[in-house]
Amino acid sequence: MMRLMAMVLAGLGFMGAAHAAYDIDQLMSDLATQKGGKARFVEKRHVAMLDKPVQASGEMLFTPPDRLEKRTLLPKPETMVLDKDTLSLERDKRKFTISLANRPEAQAFVESIRSTLSGNRKALEQDYSLKLEGEAQRWVLTLVPSDPTIAGLLKRITVSGSRNQVRHIEYLQADGDRSEISIEPVETP
């Protein structure tokens, strides 16, 4: 009888541990430990009007909490720098600068990236509902716009990774077009 009771209690303890799911607070805490860095990326844009995806590649640099630089090397050089509330784009020797304070939909899109990378749940929840699946070693975070203006442009963002590393981002636009970005961190000495 004692042995049966011990097995039942051990089983209950095991069941409790098995149901202790990885949650959004844990993910955000893990992401917040990331001190930034450099990564290579490959982006595939699936556009309904095109027969095959458009592919670009290059490198990204993130300096928490609010600087993100994306340097596209192929097929054509382009640099995008997000620094606080300013977005700069340089292409074909021309430079464009946008103040995000004047573009709330662009601000929300930018914050989806920046706030995820820095583990800022509060900022994410201002514009998105969050759903997390998986565990620390393999998680998937889905961001669904809660603002109708943003939802008119963007259906969802799916971010996946492992521990404090974002490895893949997918943007599904409201019109059905989508972009997938695969990210591979670069070790720095």
pLDDT tens digits, one per residue of 68-103: 999 999 999 999 999 998 999 999 999 999 998 888
- Domains in the chain: boundaries: 23-185
Give the pLDDT band of residue 106 (cuts 50, 70, 90).
Answer: confident
pLDDT tens digits, one per residue of 160-187: 999 999 999 999 999 999 999 999 998 7
- Please say whether the beta carbons of 104 and 21 come within 8 A: no
C-alpha 16: how far from chain center? 30
Give the pLDDT band of residue 15 (cuts 50, 70, 90).
Answer: very low
pTM for the model stands at 0.84
- Higher per-residue pLDDT: 104 or 167: 167
Write down the CATH superfamily of domain 23-185.
Lipoprotein localisation LolA/LolB/LppX (2.50.20.10)
Burial profile 47-85: b = 16 or more Cβ within 10 angstroms, e = fewer: eeeeeeeeebebbbebebebebbbebeeeeeeebbbeee
Which residue intervals of 20-142 are DSSP H helices? 24-32, 104-118, 121-124
